[in-house]
């Protein structure tokens, strides 16, 4: 069972609430002798950190990670790696508005319905703050992948749609993703998004987004048929990220409109290796990696914390109006990019280890 754990052989368990003393995770299953330092993890946490542009929440956190176990003399030992990030900016404020009212579209109501209690401060456990633990675990997964597969493995992501505005894929440039606050691979779309998000932010509204994450350099053979499918685990991984409502592999929903002929990724031999002429499969067939790029896309809904009052109910069963004041992300999809990358890294690390246990000799 895994209410708060993810993965099988490479497995992490996260803990912590938005406004508790700290958050963190325990990463279990890391093989020994992998170089690992706090700096290796911090670099990825810094990418996700809020407050780096006017388009993300202004919560100020240094998100400094501490390694509490599992590393000795600079390398992993095979024992669990415990990571902790102290919460710093638990701004003292009046939660009266949120404490007793359920924000429509938010987990407020369902937590209450399930548990009869919730830590309402900053969203408690359902805060996107939990995703910092995922990014930390993902950093360990990246080290594992590099250690075993070498430097050819690259895992990266991009924002490909905000609201109604998609990028132009013909202009895709990975370098561009590092040069704007959106991880946008299409420089010409950036100003459009800036304008759009400025309007959203001023209106106290929010908007959704679509993210694409890609892993290159993954060998064929990872995954398993039927219920240990690589794509099923990726679907679960991405859908477990806050606010995600859809997941696609490769051609995804567009595959429904394709003919068998156009969907088939034809194969040829090149230098004694199998190569493909296209990648509608997104690098996965029958639940097992093909050796092509693993391509995963997911949709993030607009955050439910908005200024416009919405009809709702209170914990004591009264009809109320709710509007969320104060800092929030106008588009949580932006910060979901490093989170999606991290989950992709974690799933691949897990399946890499599983593969060794599956094929025996």
Residues tagged in the binding site annotation for FMN: 125-127, 242-243, 286, 301-305, 327
Our finding on whether 192 is near its own copies (CB under 8 A) is no
259 with 275: CB under 8 angstroms? no
Our finding on whether 148 is near its own copies (CB under 8 A) is yes
Q: Which of 65, 132, 144, 155 binds its own copies (CB under 8 A)?
A: 144
**How many Å apart are CA 85 and CA 353, to the nearest integer?**
27
Q: Which of 46, 89, 105, 192 binds its own copies (CB under 8 A)?
A: 105
Q: Closest separation between CB of residue 61 and its own copies, Å?
A: 16
Closest CA to 23 of 128, 144, 139, 143: 128
In sequence order, what are the residues at sequence separation of 6 or more whose Cβ sits closer than 8 angstroms to the Cβ of residue 75? Answer: 32, 33, 34, 35, 36
Q: In angstroms, how far apart are the furthest CA atoms of the chain?
A: 70
| Residue 21 dihedral angles phi and psi, to the nearest 5° | -70, -30
Closest CA to 7 of 352, 291, 356, 282: 352
Binding residues for NADP(+): 48, 54
- Report the b/e string of 13-23 with b at 16+ CB within 10 A: bbebbbbbeeb
In sequence order, what are the residues at sequence separation of 6 or more whose Cβ sits closer than 8 angstroms to the Cβ of residue 311? Answer: 104, 319, 320, 321
- Identify which range of 56-64, 171-179, 181-189, 293-301 contacts its own copies by CB under 8 A: 293-301
Q: Which of 89, 104, 190, 192 binds its own copies (CB under 8 A)?
A: 104
- Identify which range of 50-58, 88-96, 140-148, 186-194 contacts its own copies by CB under 8 A: 140-148
- Identify which range of 44-52, 88-96, 170-178, 244-252 contacts its own copies by CB under 8 A: 244-252
User: 3-state SS string over 298-340?
Assistant: EEECCCCCCCCCEEEEECCCCEEEECCCCCCCCCCCCCHHHHH
Residues 297-316 within binding reach of its own copies (CB under 8 A): 299-306, 308, 310-313
Our finding on whether 353 is near its own copies (CB under 8 A) is yes
Q: What does DSSP assign to residue 70? A: S
- Identify which range of 9-17, 91-99, 167-175, 180-188 contacts its own copies by CB under 8 A: 9-17
Our finding on whether 319 is near its own copies (CB under 8 A) is yes
51 with 60: CB under 8 angstroms? yes
Q: Closest separation between CB of residue 129 and its own copies, Å?
A: 11
Q: Which of 50, 70, 122, 138 binds its own copies (CB under 8 A)?
A: 70
Tokens (6 digits) for 88: 């710093």
Our finding on whether 239 is near its own copies (CB under 8 A) is yes
Our finding on whether 220 is near its own copies (CB under 8 A) is yes
Our finding on whether 57 is near its own copies (CB under 8 A) is no
Q: Closest separation between CB of residue 187 and its own copies, Å?
A: 21
Q: Closest separation between CB of residue 141 and its own copies, Å?
A: 12
Q: Return the number of the residue (39 or 269) whose C-beta is nearest its own copies.
A: 269
Closest CA to 343 of 76, 157, 119: 157
Q: Return the number of the residue (42 or 312) whose C-beta is nearest its own copies.
A: 312
Q: Which of 97, 216, 263, 293 binds its own copies (CB under 8 A)?
A: 263
Q: Closest separation between CB of residue 173 and its own copies, Å?
A: 22
Mark 158-187 with x for binding to its own copies (rule: CB under 8 A) and - for no binding.
---xxxx-----------------------
**How many Å apart are CA 95 and CA 26, to the nearest integer?**
30
Closest CA to 220 of 262, 261, 271, 281: 281
Q: Return the number of the residue (175 or 278) whose C-beta is nearest its own copies.
A: 278
Cβ atoms within 10 Å, residue 186: 23
Q: Closest separation between CB of residue 243 and its own copies, Å?
A: 8
């Amino acid at each position: 069972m895994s209410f708060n754990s993810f993965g099988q052989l490479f497995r992490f368990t996260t803990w912590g609430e938005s406004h508790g003393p700290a958050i963190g995770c325990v990463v279990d299953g890391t093989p020994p002798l992998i170089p690992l330092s706090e700096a290796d993890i911090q670099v990825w946490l810094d990418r996700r950190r809020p407050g780096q542009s006017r388009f993300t929440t202004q919560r100020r956190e240094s998100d400094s990670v501490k390694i509490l176990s599992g590393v000795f003399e600079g390398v992993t030992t095979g024992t669990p790696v415990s990571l902790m990030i102290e919460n710093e900016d638990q701004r003292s404020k009046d939660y009266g508005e949120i404490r007793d009212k359920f924000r429509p579209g938010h987990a407020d109501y369902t937590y209450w319905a399930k548990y009869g209690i919730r830590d309402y401060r900053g969203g408690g456990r359902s805060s996107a703050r939990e995703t910092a633990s995922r990014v930390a675990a993902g950093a360990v997964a990246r080290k594992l992948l590099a250690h075993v597969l070498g430097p050819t493995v690259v895992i990266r992501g991009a924002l490909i749609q905000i609201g109604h505005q998609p990028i132009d894929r013909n202009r895709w440039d990975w370098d561009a993703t590092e040069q704007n606050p959106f991880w946008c691979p299409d420089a010409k779309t950036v100003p459009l998004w800036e304008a759009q998000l400025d309007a959203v932010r001023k209106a106290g509204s929010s908007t959704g987004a679509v993210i694409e994450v890609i892993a290159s350099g993954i060998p064929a053979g990872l995954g398993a048929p039927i219920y240990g499918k690589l794509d099923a685990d990726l679907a679960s991984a991405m859908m477990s990220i806050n606010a995600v409502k859809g997941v696609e592999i490769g051609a995804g929903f567009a595959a429904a409109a394709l003919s068998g002929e156009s969907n088939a990724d034809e194969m040829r031999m090149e230098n004694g290796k199998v190569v493909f002429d296209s990648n509608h499969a997104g690098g996965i067939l029958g639940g097992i990696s093909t050796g092509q790029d693993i391509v995963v896309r997911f949709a993030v809904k607009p955050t439910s914390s908005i200024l416009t009052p919405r009809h709702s109910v209170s914990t004591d069963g009264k009809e109320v109006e709710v509007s969320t004041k104060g800092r929030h992300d106008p588009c949580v999809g932006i910060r979901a990019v490093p989170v999606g990358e991290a989950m992709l890294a974690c799933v691949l690390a897990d399946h890499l280890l599983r593969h060794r246990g599956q094929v025996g000799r």
